[in-house]
Structures are given as C-alpha cells and as structure tokens.
Chain A
Amino acid sequence: GIQVEQSPPDLILQEGANSTLRCNFSDSVNNLQWFHQNPWGQLINLFYIPSGTKQNGRLSATTVATERYSLLYISSSQTTDSGVYFCAVGSPSNTGKLIFGQGTTLQVKP
C-alpha cells in the first residue's frame, strides 16, 4: 500500500514565525487532505488538495502529485496553531481507504 511520510516530526516556533510542513507519498494519489488536531483532540480539516495550490487565511497548501509530495505553509504562526498536523492520502486503486501520515507536532511559543 501507499506509504506516507511527514517531516519534520516535531517543530517549535516563536509566535509570528513561518513554517513549512512536508508530506511525501510513495504512489499515485487522487485524494490528499491536511488536518489539524488541536490540543483537545479535535481533528479539523484544513484542505482537500489532490493537486494544485489553495489558500485559507494564513494557511496555504500545495500538492505536486507528479512528484509525490505536498506542502503545508503556515505564516505568522499563532499559539492557537499548536497541535499535530496530519496529511492523509487516497489512491485510485482503493478509493475507500485514506492513509494517514504520522504527523508533525507543532508548538508555537508566545
């Protein structure tokens, strides 16, 4: 099956800094999503982005499907951005399954 690797595993930032999180995957995908799990455990969908670029406020994401990676950009980070960021991918060969990466744990310090 598809392998999903996220980097870095951990990241500590000062408030106001920018960051880039990366998601590499081992095979063709037709579904890629980014999620934020806040410190209370809630999983929030940030982007559905199987290809191309999207922006939502201070967050943006880019997926280059042909090169098998996706990037999540966080600009002007805030303490509320702390938590774990997951990417999840699905393949054309099994559209019911969504495979999650291990996540990037982000801590934003005031």
Chain B
Amino acid sequence: EAQVTQNPRYLITVTGKKLTVTCSQNMNHEYMSWYRQDPGLGLRQIYYSMNVEVTDKGDVPEGYKVSRKEKRNFPLILESPSPNQTSLYFCASRPFVGATNEKLFFGSGTQLSVL
C-alpha cells in the first residue's frame, strides 16, 4: 500500500531533550516536506527536500533540522525542544516538481508535547 509513515504517533518530552521524528515513504517520491499545525495558525511548512541531499527552509524552520540521505526517509530533528514547539507535525511527499500529477500525500501526524 502506498503510504507515508511517521513515527511516533504521540510523543511527550521535556525541554532540551533531543528528539527525532521519523518519516518514510514507499512511493519513490522525490519531494518530501514537514509541516506543523497549530490552532488558529493552520498548516505551516518547516522544511522541504526536492531530492536526496537537497533540503531547504520553509516558513518556520527555526529550532528544527532535517536530513535527506536516502530518497525514502526524511527525519525531523529537534536538537533542543522548547514548549513553543508543542504542535501536531505532518510529513508529506509527492512526485518531482513538474510531474503530471504533483498530488501531495500526508502521513498520519505526530502529536508532540514539550513540557
């Protein structure tokens, strides 16, 4: 089944404790991206990657890191989480820019709470 898989689904952590949210897709998509969703602020893009070893900042990249060493994986790293990073996080993937159909597929989301 074609899907984007995020783990974990729920995560509670404390300020300053490094964490990684994993994201994997099995559709051979070139493009992957991370979003955060907050009440009243909607979905905002954190980072995106157009292909392996190519990453770029979205609208709210501060406090986050990403890497794209393999096509299928795009982990989100919070080196020193703070309470303002408490949010619902989504990973997404789609075919390369310029493809006939650039439909974006989302993972199930990760609810992160930073205490």
User: Which residues of A approach B to under 8 Å, CB–CB?
Assistant: 31, 33, 35, 41-45, 48, 86, 88, 95-103
Contacts and interface: CB of A to CB of B under 8 A. Distances in A.
B108 interface: yes
Contact of A101 (B42, B48, B59, B88): B42
Interface of B: 31, 33, 35, 42-45, 48, 50, 56, 58-59, 88, 90, 92, 97-98, 101-106, 108-109
Contacts, number: 52
Of A48, A86, A101, which is in contact with the most chain B CB atoms at under 10 Å from its CB?
A48
B6 to A, nearest CB: 12
For the residues of A in contact with B, the DSSP-based class is: strand
For the residues of B in contact with A, the DSSP-based class is: strand
Given A33-B104, A43-B90, A88-B104, A96 B97 contact: yes
A93 to B, nearest CB: 12
Given A42-B106, A44-B106, A98-B45, 18 more contacts: A41-B88, A42-B108, A43-B109, A45-B103, A45-B105, A48-B102, A48-B104, A86-B43, A88-B43, A95-B97, A95-B98, A96-B31, A96-B97, A97-B58, A100-B35, A100-B42, A101-B42, A103-B42
A41 B45 contact: no
Of B33, B35, B106, which is in contact with the most chain A CB atoms at under 10 Å from its CB?
B106
Contacts of B33: 96, 98
B22 to A, nearest CB: 18
Given A33-B103, A43-B90, A96 B109 contact: no
Contacts of A88: 43, 104
Nearest to B55: A96
A77 B88 CA distance: 28
Contacts of B43: 86, 88, 100
A100 B33 CA distance: 13
A42 to B, nearest CB: 6
A16 B13 CA distance: 45
Q: Which 5 A-B pairs have the closest CB atoms?
A: A43-B106, A100-B43, A48-B103, A95-B97, A96-B48
